[in-house]
A and B are shown apart, each in its own frame.
Chain A
């Protein structure tokens, strides 16, 4: 028994592992809450776009010598605003303009990065993150983002639900639909930016989407969906970090792999449960 405790406790003797657990856990909470809306509104692709665009901002900040988070946040918020504006004038199909926008910003980021000496190292750190390099300052950033997001979401929660469920009805009733959409995308942007350090551009969307999707297999009510998504995200984080510590695998990718496995197992359990005639509420009448 004591060996299990020792195995569980061992990583925490290293400051960088303790920070990794704390940092990614905070991200899992933040991403689970925001990710539930992202999944329900079908914004996964948009989240991905914001992540790629913020890569351009990150590199720009790096070259200009300003704080990386600020550069990434500026680009991410600009993308969010651009998407809100595009959403209102749909001359181009939205996904086309989106793809142009974010791949362009991403390419500029790669070009900027190529001017530096440690091109390959920098690129891979930004693409897949470096969980073990989380500094105390990064934790403060993530915690601040979580608090800001929590306050804004709590304040605008029912409005965001209204515009997600029935945007036309909400607008007619006088709700500021465009402003609320921008708020939601900005929260996505904030989540993406503070998560970049840990999990990188490519994997950040998985932390938002996968736990929420797993939760949606078993839970129907929105509030419970968020709580379950956070729980799934935390479970994947802890299991993933332990596995990565003992198997010496890349931590970010391990966490995402565990989250994906979680979803797959959830899917199979759902299928089996349905096969045996488990009681499910009918989806439509």
Chain B
């Protein structure tokens, strides 16, 4: 898979490079002193409580929120110049799943980011869209309404759209929400495929689940970086306590969420 050439002196081996980032909104600062890098072809999980700055960090990566201080680079360039190389899968409720389109129509949206608006999708695009659906193991669902698919299938349709866009960096906002353990593992299989192609997958989650364990690195956020590293380092109990306070949410193998209350 061809990697996009970098411009502007950034490091093109890094899909995401965040240096001394401070970010927030008019009235409050949400993130301070964030330093974080994600190498190309790896997966990274961002965990932390609600309000801990996960969404804010994603908004700086997609170029929607300019940093108050520090720099953000995506594939070596400012986020807004890397948008065609990046796909953002919003939280489940931000999408109108009852909109009357088929799965294949959603996948075909992937070409809109990189073709001129006056050029309709040809046979090539349709073939590429079918191939993308096959890669996320949804060939049989192409003609079904998107609203008729399960939560895990919907997510994989959006990943197929990112594949058609040929996005090198794929951001998933709370992908585990509403997925049972089985669907999470299906998603992980797809994530592994994406990594093998040199793509980078970044996912946020507010609880601990199958995903976090299987990602290459974990970033624990609570307004600042509490810790980061491979799961076995970052997910140590003392770090989790620092991130989540005394209530540590855990997802069991059956997909049930348990709140672990730590007593001192």
Cβ-based interface call for B95 (8 A):
yes
**Shortest Cβ distance from A42 into chain B, in angstroms?**
9
Q: Beta-carbon contacts of B62-102 to A below 8 Å, as 1s and 0s? A: 11100000000000000000011011111000111111111
Interface residue stretch chosen among B126-134, B142-150, B189-197: B142-150
Contact A172/B83 with A281-B148, A283-B147 known, Cβ cut-off 8 Å:
yes
Contact A221/B64 with A155-B118, A173-B113, A285-B150 known, Cβ cut-off 8 Å:
no
Contact A175–B101 (Cβ < 8 Å): no
| Majority SS at the chain A contact face | helix
**What is the CA–CA distance of A175 and B105 in the complex, to the nearest angstrom?**
17
Cβ-based interface call for A282 (8 A):
yes
Question: What are the residues of chain B within 8 A of A221 when measuring CB–CB?
Answer: 100-102
Question: What are the residues of chain B within 8 A of A158 when measuring CB–CB?
Answer: 108-109, 112, 120-121
Contact A165/B118 with A158-B109, A158-B112 known, Cβ cut-off 8 Å:
no
Cβ-based interface call for A40 (8 A):
yes
Question: How many A-B pairs fall under 8 Å by CB?
Answer: 96
**What is the CA–CA distance of A169 and B99 in the complex, to the nearest angstrom?**
15
Interface size class of A (residues with CB under 8 A): 20 to 34
**Shortest Cβ distance from A183 into chain B, in angstroms?**
11
**Shortest Cβ distance from A18 into chain B, in angstroms?**
36
Contact A175–B95 (Cβ < 8 Å): no
Q: Beta-carbon contacts of B102-128 to A below 8 Å, as 1s and 0s? A: 100110110011000110110000000
Q: Beta-carbon contacts of A200-212 to B below 8 Å, as 1s and 0s? A: 0000000000000
Q: Could you list which residues of chain A lie within 8 angstroms of chain B, going by C-beta atoms?
A: 40, 155-156, 158-159, 161-162, 164-175, 216, 219-222, 225, 281-285
- 12 pairs of residues in contact across A and B, judged by CB atoms under 8 Å: A40-B96, A40-B99, A159-B112, A162-B109, A166-B158, A168-B88, A169-B95, A172-B83, A172-B86, A172-B87, A173-B165, A285-B153
